[in-house]
Amino acid sequence: MNNHDIDYKIYGEELQCVEIELDPQESVIAEPGSFMMMSDGIQMQTMFGDGSGQGGFLGKIFTAGKRMLTGESLFMTVFTNMGQGKKQVSFASPYAGKIIPLDLSEYGGKVICQKDSFLCAAKGVAIGIEFQKRLGTGFFGGEGFIMQRLEGDGMCFVHSGGHVIEKELQAGEILKIDTGCIVGFTQQVQYDIQFVGGIKNSLFGGEGLFFAQLRGPGKVWIQTLPISRLAGRILQYGTHQGKEEGSVLGGLGRLLDGDNS
């Protein structure tokens, strides 16, 4: 085994955190900003790249550059138990949803996930970039075009928005899905983009012009509320002045509440 062997426990329902238990000299890597708390005796250090040790210095630069393409930081944070006995460090999701534990050794050592879904992993897991190779996917894939590749044989954790649905696709089975709703899938799954079709669907459907097509065999993780959809809805309501949903008073209600704007 090349990756550190870590134990964990997930707390909460919709606003979750994961507690990682580290033996002496064990380490976990995490995205900057995901740290929540840790025991005394754990050392925190910022490092260049993902800590997998692949390719030496030039490999680290190449890995960091690929992470920039996925919108992530050039650096990652490593937490190492430098004390005696077991220690704990916890990481929290950035928004409401679920944390998904993935044992990469159970999925052939590789899982593809959305570019902003990685939370933390055992040290030794390589976090790279996965381009969808088809030309149509590149032009129209949206959130699903550039994805993250998690490789290794250890535990890693990704987060999603809303609830998570797991589907096991049989060989040749096809699942059509909004590109933003994909959290991740195993390496055997084939990914492509398909046109919705139909003039009315394209102009008035409200679901976009394209959706993802996933073909089995393999496992797929699906989220019910992508962060892009949540942010768009918040922006929509925030820019609609004077809209009072569920209120018969409307502007009078705001006046009574002391809002004169």
Report the relative pairing of strands 174-177 and 146-151 from DSSP bridges: unpaired
For 149-186, the pLDDT digits (tens) are 899 999 999 999 999 999 999 999 999 998 889 999 99
The Cα 217–Cα 164 span in angstroms is 19
For 221-237, the pLDDT digits (tens) are 999 988 877 777 788 77
* Residue 137's pLDDT band (cuts 50, 70, 90): very low
pTM above 0.85, yes or no: no
For 40-85, the pLDDT digits (tens) are 999 999 887 666 655 555 555 655 555 565 556 678 899 999 999 9
* Residue 129's pLDDT band (cuts 50, 70, 90): confident
Contact in structure between 48 and 75 (CB atoms under 8 Å): yes
Share of the chain above pLDDT 90, in %: 46
Contact in structure between 49 and 64 (CB atoms under 8 Å): yes
Contact in structure between 10 and 99 (CB atoms under 8 Å): yes
For 91-128, the pLDDT digits (tens) are 999 888 999 999 999 999 999 998 888 999 999 898 88
Contact in structure between 42 and 90 (CB atoms under 8 Å): no
Rounded to 10 degrees, the C-alpha dihedral 241/247/253/258 comes to -60
